[in-house]
Amino acid sequence: MKVQNKIIVVTGGGSGMGRELVLHLLAKEARVVTIDINENALQETIALAGTKKDSLKTFVVNITDRAAIEKLLNDAVAAFGFVDGIINNAGIIQPFIKVNELGYDAIERVMNINFYGTLYMVKTFLPHLLTRPEAHVVNISSMGGFLPVPGQSIYGASKAAVKLLTEGLNSELTNTNVKVTVVFPGAVNTNITKNSGLNVPQHTSKTESKSTMKTLSPVKAARIIIAGMENNSYRVLVGKDAKFMDAIYRFNPAYAAGFIYKKMKALLGE
């Protein structure tokens, strides 16, 4: 679905990849509704929209609040008349600790934001999207949604749930006007750690510095994702690391898991 003149709703548009998705959509002549839990961040996105700000509407919404998401649909339709697509981008990571040490409050927070927030958006907007001549759902999973990352096992489980939800939707909507894309970003240079309320241990050993994967800019990530949406792609791998690990994991899952463990073990103090 080409995004020009379409109405797209983006979650997590106050910073990082979400903000760049909003700005790229505006540059391609889409009109955008975006939400975030941080009002100041949304104001910064509006400022960056410049001359395109009249094509942007923002709302402070907690995506774990189902009633608020249901109201968002009404607000979006009131603002622009209809909605043609949604991009479920908002998400957080967990503390970099093992499942055995992770409290249920952190587990529930990750699952509520990453999975249930996405599910609420899909369930709320899908009936409306099915009435449009063409429409699109983009759900952002993660490289960690198909590959185990130690210290991020619950985050990975939430993103694996997003992966299978999205692929299931794709099959269920085969004979409809709604296309569905699942996105697997690798390492993208965003402030997700800060937004997740976390402090990541700093390690400066030569071994770790050599093993750290290069991050992709959120600008480039946003362009790749929107291109996937416009091409009605089934799945989109964002970044060389995501493509590389996808290939390795398909060939030898155990080797791929061991490879990532070696990259990440320093964050677990091992």
In order of 27, 163, 214, 237, the CA distances from 222 in angstroms are 12, 19, 17, 12
Cβ within 8 Å of residue 81, ≥6 positions away: 7
What are the b/e assignments for 133-144, b being 16+ CB within 10 Å?
eebbbbbbbbbb
**SS3 state of residue 237:** strand
Name the E strands within the chain.
7-11, 31-36, 56-60, 85-88, 135-140, 178-185, 235-238
Q: In 3D, which of 126, 121, 117, 236 has the Cα closest to residue 178?
A: 126
- Identified catalytic residue from 116, 120, 155, 249: 155
CA atoms within 13 A on the CB side of 94: 30
Is residue 104 annotated as a catalytic residue, yes or no?
A: no
Q: Tokens standing for 19?
A: 């903000």
Cβ within 8 Å of residue 77, ≥6 positions away: 83, 128
The catalytic residue positions are 155
